[in-house]
Structure 1
């Protein structure tokens, strides 16, 4: 494309002169991983003992368009929530903010998903897809189906799968969709065994196939495009970043996990190990891509006296910068889509010998206070919590979360928008 060719020329010309421009040199040298976040509470409810309570944990909260869908989990009394689905409008000035839909099958006599917790969910076309989970007693749901909730018809149906060659039952797995396929990672199997398998499901052939298993089993997984990302670590000195290209057509023998080990100590700050928190892929535009790693609770593997006497839940938010988008030839409607400024900026830095792109580095996200804190009512921050539901909004840079339990083990019944800048 002409725009890309022009962008490459501009990058080369700027690179050859930037070293002599003080202001430009400063701009290039300035770190890029400096995100800020502001919180807005979108709803707050009081806990109750009913199966339709908004206060719950170990549920899923899936965003589709301008709506979010809450399903499953445990109520504030530790009871299993019903299999009804709650939908919330996230659009401003919406006339219809909330809707409760009982579980109705697509056809007469059809099945609906059982109530469950610790299941996995994601958006798939115009549906909410759910998989796995366990019942009120903690036993795995004996159902291999990927369930689809059709948001336009408010009905459920199960997608046929080749169960004989597919994954075993599990809870706490991560389910992602990309194009016409699903990626399933990890979770816990029978007896609480930790799983690190990665499975691919083709919705056209209705067939499961296995990808290379991950080096670790962790609850911290996210997917951006066709790449699966994992964060794992059991101490305060270092952690590992793992990633795998799941794109179909890639030679299976050549496909393998890549691992980057990074220090997380006072000299090179990074997040403490955690589980049941949030790990989401976001982009801030112009080619910058990050993993947002936030909240959660202390990992059960931590054994040192210093760590076990510290906080059980975290309130911090961290960003891990991914490589900027490639300058590849793709169909684009605008110049900014054809030429990703972040990639050009990083290329210029490399030309002039500046190592400041921030790729594969951690940075703690700064939390901005409310505009008028004196006039603000209620909470201004979600506080320490884990086992909540969360997802990324359509802009790719805002995050919504709901519920979870706090450091006292109490269920929360509120929702929040995290606006990333």
Structure 2
């Protein structure tokens, strides 16, 4: 999957995750070209609208060699239902096995149809949070709730936070820190306005902890090896990569909170770099030679 992801955005500027060491030089110095082959993994019948994978504003998560698709809307603007579509990543083009799982769970546990929600995986399960309904309003009932789907049981459950929680939002991103069993939430829209807020959720205590706001509104973010990276662009001639190590929050005093670090990069005809764009993504890949990259699509 990493090779496929690399191929998607090999034409874009490459930002190495070695940002902490010689960050400015790392961004300015060209790297080896990255190439890959894109392959279609599955198709669904056009005549059966209920099984169609054609959609936008949905989420795609990978667990044990299978992609799980949730939410989104069709080309006519109608929301897709809340079924889970699963496609295995086959060895040959078009050979991925396909399955559709209806929404099953106790009352109040099943997420409603939605768009622009956030998703990640945790210990073999799918986690989703937030999003918008058919009226483009935030899904308010998810302010304190993370929805978790177990593939083996094909069943939804809810993880309800104790205490305060992030405001309802959409267009944000969530990431799972497997080493600390924490979830990191970043960016998105609150009350229709972009936000720079970042939160950490502890699955053990079920408490949300606010982290320092990012220096700028995020165009895309990624979490790699305990570090959250966020990319922004103040103009067409330069942008910035910001990063922070959330760690574990034991004390919410200002002295105990981590800090953001910013690295600027140029983007102009003399020094090519990524330009601002909407709906972008940062994807972590490795070449297998000890170097890791964040590729900006």
Question: TM tier, shorter chain?
Answer: 0.7 to 0.9
Tell me, yes or no, if the aligned pair for 1:171 and 1:188 is still in contact at 8 Å. yes
CA gap 1:250/1:271 in 2 versus in 1, 3 angstroms? farther
TM-score (norm 2): 0.81
Corresponding residue for 1:13?
none
Pairing 1:391-410 to 2, within 5 Å after superposition? none
Corresponding residue for 2:259?
256
Higher alpha-carbon Rg: 1
TM-score (norm 1): 0.58
CA gap 1:51/1:212 in 2 versus in 1, 3 angstroms? farther
Tell me, yes or no, if the aligned pair for 2:42 and 2:97 is still in contact at 8 Å. no
Tell me, yes or no, if the aligned pair for 1:62 and 1:122 is still in contact at 8 Å. yes
Query: Is 229-238 or 112-121 further displaced after alignment?
Result: 229-238
Corresponding residue for 1:273?
276
1:141, 1:59 → 2: CA distance? 15
Corresponding residue for 1:131?
129
Tell me, yes or no, if the aligned pair for 1:51 and 1:79 is still in contact at 8 Å. no
1:277, 1:141 → 2: CA distance? 23
**Any stretches of 5+ residues in structure 1 without a counterpart?**
1-29, 295-421
Task: Give CA deviations for 1:122-181 in whole Å, capped at 9, x if unaligned.
Answer: 11111110000010110110122100000111000001212x411010001101001211
Task: Report the alpha carbon displacement of residue 255 of structure 1 after superposing the two structures with TM.
Answer: 1.7
Pairing 1:14-413 to 2, within 5 Å after superposition? 32-44=31-43, 50=49, 52-92=51-91, 97-105=97-105, 107=106, 109=107, 111-143=109-141, 144=143, 145-162=145-162, 164-179=163-178, 180-190=181-191, 192-248=192-248, 253=255, 255-294=258-297
Task: Give CA deviations for 1:160-207 in whole Å, capped at 9, x if unaligned.
Answer: 212x411010001101001211000111112x1111111000001111
Point out which structure has higher relative CO (alpha carbons under 8 A, 6+ apart).
1
Tell me, yes or no, if the aligned pair for 1:48 and 1:76 is still in contact at 8 Å. no
Task: Give CA deviations for 1:295-333 in whole Å, capped at 9, x if unaligned.
Answer: xxxxxxxxxxxxxxxxxxxxxxxxxxxxxxxxxxxxxxx
Matched residue count: 261
Root-mean-square deviation (Å)? 2.3
Task: Give CA deviations for 1:60-114 in whole Å, capped at 9, x if unaligned.
Answer: 0001121000000111111001000000000326987011000000x5x453111
